[in-house]
Amino acid sequence: EPTWPFRRDGRDFALSVEGGIVANNGETLGHLAAAGVGITRVGRFSVAAEIADGRLVPLLEDYNPGDVELIHAVFVGGSTTPARVRVFVDFLVERLASRFE
């Protein structure tokens, strides 16, 4: 059963949620919410345009734990890895590491 994380009075907890639609794509969930299907929990970047033009409004912001999704760089490693791939991954680590500490 899916859960949503919350924070109240400095304490983190999770509540079970259920609904008629399950998706793993923030943009899709945002479109469904904007169409009136229900509420969703997605990254703000997925629904920035809908919030800006008033089709969606943030809910429960006072209980947002501020969690972030991890970023995974998946590639074939080893001696055959092109240098450009290794340089790009190193760049991502350098630029994003402080955001996830």
CA distance 18 to 38: 11
Extract the tokens encoding 23: 């998706």
Instruction: Calculate the average pLDDT of the chain.
Output: 89
- Whether the per-residue pLDDT at 101 is higher than 70: the answer is no
**How many residues can be counted in the chain?**
101
Half-sphere exposure of 59 (CA within 13 A, CB side): 9
- Split into its structural domains, the chain has a count of 2
Regarding whether 49 and 35 lie in a shared domain, the answer is yes
Domain encompassing residue 10 = 3-63
Verify that 27 and 43 share a domain, yes or no: yes
Q: How confident is the model at residue 7 (pLDDT cuts 50, 70, 90)?
A: very high
Same domain, 74 and 41: no
- 54 with 74, same domain: the answer is no
Does residue 49 sit in the same domain as residue 85? Answer: no
